[in-house]
Structure 1
Amino acid sequence: MRIGEEAPGTAAALPTGATGTDAERITAGIRSWVGSAPLRDLVGHFGGDWPDGDVAAVLAGLDDFSARHWDFRGGRERPDAREPAFDPATAGLVLATAAALGMVRPAEPAQPGYAHLVVLGGLAHACQRRVAYAAHLLRAGIRITGEVAVLGSFRPLSEVEHRDLAAAGVPPCDTEVAALDAAVRREFRVTAPAEDDGHDAAHPHHSWASRTYRPVGGPPVRVLAAPSGDPARRRAHTADTQRFWAGHVRLRAGDPVLMVTAPIYVPFQHCDALRTLAVPYGCVIETVGVDPALPDLAGLPEPTLTPGRYLQEIRSAIRSLRALHTALG
């Protein structure tokens, strides 16, 4: 069996590391996910030949293929991506592949407790759901010995995001981190931070902020806005926010860290966290997606996920896996 090829019906499993820095185990996980039968079938359906060679060559080939066939953003923000038109058979195959790759159904946390709970930012409506889900997990009995970290940036909100927040009854917010902060105040029933620090550089790519709230009877909740790692070219992205948080908290080898995002983003954001947190610090990463069916999330806006959105995020996962594999050296 060639590298990158799995037996038909093999479930796609995301890479993990026994101690966060187990390069061999992480590489095996990369090979398993990227070589899974559903992904191979999807590439074939879109007219692609499976790349030959080792894991690095397969990842490079899939990165190139997905850029040509599944990139509907073209450098734009996610809400501005075009939506392709697919026939019913193609749409069904895309959705089935996304489910097989762990991008559709939410999974509950596997452990009763963690060192830290990290909530990843995103579009304004996602910020509300993810923070609400984090609060739900704590009420459900998940133990956190360190802190809850809510990670975002000073990315300005779009008009669509403003309308989504207004429809959900959220007070007006100008930036992603403001939307996260509003959700933290509401869900954790806090009014003012115990610590407030930051730097206003008069530009969202350079500025940063850190606010720590101390809810009664629970772990501290830190809301961070990260600067961009490449401010001349782009805003802060997920990996920037994870690295920035790592600079504000003492991560120890073996620390279990639970990441919260949406199911569609679990593969790519999990692999970003392995690269930016597990590999350099030795912590252990588990990533789960919000369950939108929970009563605690009733009334919060939920976007419609389309075949085009899933293909775009399969591409994001491929690129994140490639960056992780490169980081392993």
Structure 2
Amino acid sequence: MSGYQPVPLPSGAAGTSRDDLVAGLTDWVRSRPLRDLVAAYGAELPDRMAPAELLAWLDDFSARHWDFRRRHGAVERDEVAETALAPAVAELVRTAAEALGLAGPCPVPAGRYDHLLVLGGLARSCLDRTGYAAWLVGTGTVEVGEVAALGSFRPLRPVEIERLHLPAGRTGGDPAERAARPDSEHVARFDGGAAWRDAGERAAQLDGGYEVDAMELGIRAAFGCPAPVQQRRSTGEITHRSWSVAVYRPAAGPVVRVLAAPSTEPATRRAHTSDTYHFWAAEVSPAPGARVLVLTSRLYVPFQHCDAIRTLGLGYGCQVETIGLDPGLFPGHGPVELGADRYLQEIRSAIRSIRNLFGVLGELPSGYVP
């Protein structure tokens, strides 16, 4: 089970052709780790199916076996009660998840990007990711032209606010482990020392708020910019059609935008990841060939990377790379142990995202380069 080689995700680099993308997607869905996961649930990955048929088969298979959210009524990810798996299956899932890009080390690319996009999520993730984005920029690990935090008007739930309070006595592990994390002194200097020190005060600020409020709070703390220099938003009551844009200009560093995207299907659902990509692109009009670095959590890298290729790469001609934040990088955090069922859920998300991307690729001529 431990001998898997990493399975590369499809490339969003410049010059990646349609055929390259098809090959990358096909390699991922036919990979040995995914085959073994399917076998662990009593089936065999079909070899004679065309890629589009295989993705439809995997979508249906994962819906029956790995969609734990729907079993609980399509709840939020953190509301799903853990489903215990047999120890051998759980070990396989974790090993396969690392090979498929959902876990394990995530190297931070060094270089120049035109845009750094920080994706939203639960309240704590919003603060973690904006803080990590500030560290990347402040240390010069990556050089970026602009930063954008992408969220929506999803209401924050009381349990999200409660989880912002750090347990007493958390030190983040032993000294050797902390030495491998971002420089805590620099983090404190760059975000004014406030990112997690005043957790109770921060929780109070977010009570009754929205995901975009958590993103704004994280940006203000991490980048040291107390108020936006520009602000626009939709009028009326908050619905799935609502949107907002705030622009911050820190004393040092790039311009930072915080956007709440509307849903492209407001009658049936709230905004999702692809909607936030589209809204950002419509707002800033990235130049063809613009280099975009997407920052999310490691667990979501495969599906959000494929969504970025579909929307920003094929739709706007951007070059896309995606990295995942390890929560253990932050002072005051310990390692986060996820249930094996969480990995299966997000492998399903990746399958669905790959299927959506493949559907767009099927409409493009062979050899097409965005």
Q: How high is the TM-score relative to the length of structure 1?
A: 0.92
1:58 maps to what in 2? 54
Contact 2:67 2:345 in 1 (8 A): yes
* 1:233 aligns to 2:228 (yes or no): no
Deviates more, 1:161-170 or 1:207-216: 161-170
In the alignment, residue 30 of structure 1 is paired with which amino acid? L
* 1:34 aligns to 2:29 (yes or no): yes
CA distance in 1, matches of 2:96, 2:299: 12
* 1:308 aligns to 2:341 (yes or no): yes
In the alignment, residue 47 of structure 1 is paired with which amino acid? G
Q: 1:260 aligns with which of 269, 289, 295?
A: 295
Contact 1:144 1:219 in 2 (8 A): no
How far does residue 9 in structure 1 lie from its aligned partner after superposition? Answer: 4.6
- Partner of 1:223, secondary structure, is strand
How far does residue 293 in structure 1 lie from its aligned partner after superposition? Answer: 3.1
Change (3 A) 1:306 1:20: farther
1:25 maps to what in 2? 20
Contact 1:107 1:288 in 2 (8 A): yes
* 1:323 aligns to 2:323 (yes or no): no
CA distance in 2, matches of 1:300, 1:129: 10
CA distance in 1, matches of 2:142, 2:87: 44
Matches within 5 A, 1:76-87: 76-87=75-86
CA distance in 1, matches of 2:127, 2:332: 10
Q: Which of the pair has more CA radius of gyration?
A: 2
In the alignment, residue 33 of structure 1 is paired with which amino acid? W
2:175 maps to what in 1? none
Q: How high is the TM-score relative to the length of structure 2?
A: 0.83
2:68 maps to what in 1? 72
In the alignment, residue 89 of structure 1 is paired with which amino acid? A
How far does residue 311 in structure 1 lie from its aligned partner after superposition? Answer: 0.5
Change (3 A) 1:201 1:44: farther
In the alignment, residue 219 of structure 1 is paired with which amino acid? P
Contact 1:228 1:236 in 2 (8 A): yes
- CA distances 1:67-126 after superposition (whole Å, capped 9, x unpaired): 000001112221222321211111111111111111112423324110100000001111
Contact 2:13 2:321 in 1 (8 A): no
CA distance in 2, matches of 1:20, 1:224: 30
- Partner of 1:203, secondary structure, is coil
2:188 maps to what in 1? none
CA distance in 1, matches of 2:331, 2:239: 32
Contact 2:13 2:320 in 1 (8 A): no
What is the identity percentage for the equivalent residue pairs of Structure 1 and Structure 2?
Answer: 49
Matches within 5 A, 1:156-305: 156-167=155-166, 169=199, 170-172=202-204, 173=206, 174-294=209-329, 297-299=330-332, 304-305=337-338
Deviates more, 1:87-96 or 1:194-203: 194-203
Aligned pair count?
Answer: 320
- Partner of 1:287, secondary structure, is strand
CA distance in 1, matches of 2:8, 2:218: 32
- CA distances 1:126-146 after superposition (whole Å, capped 9, x unpaired): 111111110010122144443
CA distance in 2, matches of 1:60, 1:206: 31
Deviates more, 1:226-235 or 1:18-27: 18-27
Contact 2:294 2:322 in 1 (8 A): yes
CA distance in 2, matches of 1:20, 1:151: 27
- Partner of 1:165, secondary structure, is coil
Change (3 A) 1:164 1:303: farther
Deviates more, 1:17-26 or 1:231-240: 17-26
How far does residue 219 in structure 1 lie from its aligned partner after superposition? Answer: 0.4
In the alignment, residue 88 of structure 1 is paired with which amino acid? P
Change (3 A) 1:300 1:155: farther
Unpaired stretches in structure 1, ≥5 consecutive residues: 1-7
- Partner of 1:93, secondary structure, is helix
How far does residue 183 in structure 1 lie from its aligned partner after superposition? Answer: 0.6
How far does residue 50 in structure 1 lie from its aligned partner after superposition? Answer: 1.0
* 1:132 aligns to 2:131 (yes or no): yes
